Chains A and B, each alone.
Chain A
Amino acid sequence: MARTLSMKDAINEALDLEMERDKTVIMMGEDIVGGAGAGGEEDAWGGVLGVSKGLYAKHPKQMIDTPLSESAYVGAAIGAATCGLRPVAELMFIDFMGVCLDQIFNQAAKFRYMFGGKAETPVVIRAMCGGGFRAAAQHSQMLTPVFTHIPGLKVVCPSNAYDTKGLLTQAIRDNDPVIFLEHKNLYGSETDVPEESYAIPFGEANISREGKDVTIVTYGLMVPRSLEAAETLKKEGIDVEIVDLRTLSPIDMDTVIESVEETGRLVCVDEANPRCSIAADVSAQVAKDAFKSLKAPIGMVTAPHAPVPFTPSLEDIYIPSAEKIADAVRETMGA
């Protein structure tokens, strides 16, 4: 039965099914229950955008509203993970990771290594990422490269509701720390989503669109933007292939290289700032491993190296648009 679900509801369903399946799965975060002033458990807020709405009524013993102290509860979640629970900590915005980075990159990411492979840290840290929400420079960043830089972390950034449910399920079942990044401007986007549980393995890119002229490698919100660009370019006779990385660590370079070997052209599209980004990383690896397949210089579409503007008109220019992506493809085609 074809059933469509928004990305927001897909997150809710994955959390619900995993908390039901495994009682060691717990949720921690600010206002994830959010009962203050609510008429009852069912009416509780369920997080700042209502992602976990209704879950407390079903799983009251597995959800903890924490004090407003990210470093404390992210540390607690990591500690609980080392002691046998599978915590999902919600950080609201990726921008708040700064205050708990030591817990994440010096502790969670290192335990398996420091304890000779004997320690497991099955923690998921969920956070909203990305711009376009008129939320200003401290609530709009695309900080994915901060986390892909750190060995020991897995980093996920889905582009649609189907992938979100399967990747979040995998993140919860995974025995390593996972940074799970949800683009807030995709929360309302809908796809068909099976009612049953399923897990999508990490490190497997998805080819969102097959094409023979140019490969676009991207993730997150830039996937629908690239698909939009591809529709425009199709009318001009340019056939675009789109590789949605889905997981940034591990990264599926095999699929990227295979695609570039077929098309001979690459455009990397990344909402993050340009320096040391996923786009820069993919470009470097393709230049190293598939240089002879390239018929043209690699194209790059990223945000500028500047904070995300609060002014709506500037923010719209800041985030890569379908037009900018199409322009970069045309340039790569020599058009």
Chain B
Amino acid sequence: MSDKITPILMPKWGLSMSEGTLAAWHVEEGTEISPGDEIMDVETDKIANVVEAADGGLLRRKVGNEGEVYPVRMLLGVMAPSSVTDAEIDTYINDYEMPEVEEDEDTGPNYEFAELGVGKIRYTERSGEGTPVLLIHGFGGDLDNWLFNIDALSETAPAYALDLPGHGQSVKPADSADLDLMVSAVVQLMDHLNIEQAHLVGHSMGGLIAGQTAISNPSRVASVSLICSAGLGVEINDDYIDGFVGAQSRKELKPKLKYLFADQGLVSRSMVDDLLKYKRLDGVQSFLERLKANLFDNGKQAINLIDGLKKIDCPKQIIWGEGDAIIPQSHANAIDGATVTVVSGAGHMVQMEESSQVNELIKEIL
């Protein structure tokens, strides 16, 4: 009978997550759930997010209680058709055993490092079929900005995300900090991974990099998805960029991070701490100052890709968070012929705040 039973488990977001709090259920027992439905809120010490159903089915039993902490992969609920009896569900719950953790660490996703011409680059890889998708984060970000996207996208294509130079755990260059360096890092990583052609997905400054990579290397790029992207207009929130670069303490940084999200409650203590830890690494401060001077000085974007993007043929899509407070949503319509989607209820970090909608949009272009 158990093959008719589908478990709902505590998700695992990123390598460091070992447990999460089931903050709230969004569905009742007896509800018919469709894949993609929002079923519960889960919070970790790093982030809070809505969990969407991976599978559909009739919710028969809630096993997890609201407000309690559960380890990753713990059974939180049971879906089964009405033909399955309550006794069978009881047996299933009683017999449920959590998969071994060590097994997951051996075979599960991990961070990799590549020694490239630009220096050491950290990336992560999820295997899949077809033309790969490469995810490029924005200014001050890292590959974990794609925490809620990379696993879903790997259902459709091999998925990669990298830490750009000067970011995350990649090299902190002492001299250059410009668009050429970033594009070189992307192309060199593709060479290193023997990726002839990839779908590029870029967020914010990562969109600028994805677009420029496509313009200068059209044969290497199958499509571009530009999310709240730089390079499509002039304006950019100087208070954010300046504040992010200048902030030395939690007090200075936290208010600036609120620009990133429509739901400002998402700016958690550990998000602020993690960014401060990144900013304190030797070489990061001067790198960000140089990058800002080259790309985003005085509230103006220095580089515009509109003409260049119009000249290349690959499919282009633009995704924007309706409440983006960093780059104006009006830039979404800059490219004729691009598919444009404005996502409501999300800010600049739309790929985190409305991950399933963004994932579906990216999968369509893949």
* A207→B269 contact, CB < 8 A: yes
The verdict on A196 contacting B282 (CB below 8 Å), with A2-B15, A210-B269 known, is yes
Q: Is B34 an interface residue (CB 8 A)?
A: no
Q: Which of A51-59, A87-95, A197-205 contacts B (4 or more CB under 8 A)?
A: A197-205
* B16→A255 contact, CB < 8 A: no
Q: Is B311 an interface residue (CB 8 A)?
A: no
Q: Is A224 an interface residue (CB 8 A)?
A: no
The verdict on A199 contacting B169 (CB below 8 Å), with A2-B16, A207-B269, A255-B251 known, is no
Q: Is A166 an interface residue (CB 8 A)?
A: yes
Q: What is the bound-complex CA distance between A200 and B248, given in angstroms?
A: 9
What sequence of 0s and 1s flags, for each residue 76-103 of chain B, a beta carbon within 8 Å of any chain A beta carbon?
0000000000000000000000000000
Among B172, B251, B280, B281, max chain A CB count under 10 A is at B280
How many pairs, one residue from A and one from B, have CB atoms within 8 Å of each other in the complex?
Answer: 33
Residues of B near A199 (CB, < 8 A) are 280, 282
The verdict on A196 contacting B248 (CB below 8 Å), with A2-B15, A207-B269, A210-B269 known, is no
Closest chain A CB from B35 CB (angstroms): 32
Residues of B near A200 (CB, < 8 A) are 280
* A166→B250 contact, CB < 8 A: no
What sequence of 0s and 1s flags, for each residue 183-201 of chain A, a beta carbon within 8 Å of any chain B beta carbon?
0000000000010111111
Among A197, A198, A210, max chain B CB count under 10 A is at A198
Name which residue of chain A comes closest to B272, CB basis.
A207
Closest chain A CB from B172 CB (angstroms): 7
Q: What is the bound-complex CA distance between A70 and B211, given in angstroms?
A: 63
Closest chain A CB from B159 CB (angstroms): 19
What sequence of 0s and 1s flags, for each residue 1-33 of chain A, a beta carbon within 8 Å of any chain B beta carbon?
110000000000000000000000000000000
Name which residue of chain B comes closest to A166, CB basis.
B280
What sequence of 0s and 1s flags, for each residue 303-336 of chain B, a beta carbon within 8 Å of any chain A beta carbon?
0000000000000000000000000000000000
* A196→B172 contact, CB < 8 A: yes
Q: Which residues of B116-140 are within 8 A (CB) of A?
A: 122
B281's partner among A2, A197, A201, A207 (CB-CB below 8 A) is A197
Q: Is B217 an interface residue (CB 8 A)?
A: no
13 contacts between A and B (CB under 8 A): A194-B281, A196-B172, A196-B281, A197-B281, A197-B282, A198-B277, A198-B280, A198-B281, A198-B282, A199-B280, A200-B280, A201-B249, A207-B250
Query: Which 5 A-B pairs give the minimum distances between C-beta atoms?
Result: A198-B280, A197-B282, A198-B281, A196-B281, A204-B249
